[in-house]
Structure 1
Amino acid sequence: MTTGKQHKERPLAQNRKASHDYSIIDTIEAGVVLTGTEIKSIRNRRLNLKDGFAQIRNGEAWLMNVHISPYDQGNQFNHDPLRKRKLLLHKKQIQRLMNESSDKGVTLVPLKVYLKSGFAKVLLGVGKGKRAYDKRESIKRKDQERQIQRTLKNYS
Structure 2
Amino acid sequence: MKKIILGLSTLCLIAFTSCKENAAKKIDENNVAAAAVRDAGSSKLPVLKFEETEHDFGEIESKTPVETTFKYTNVGDAPLVITNIGTTCGCTVPQNWSREPLAPGDTGEFSVKYNGSGSGKVTKQITVTANTEKGSEIVKITAFVKPDPNAAVKPAAKAAK
Q: Of the two, which has the highest radius of gyration?
A: 2
Same fold (TM over 0.5): no
TM-score, normalised relative to structure 1: 0.24
Q: Which has the higher helix share?
A: 1
Q: Which has the higher contact order (CA 8 A, sep 6+)?
A: 1
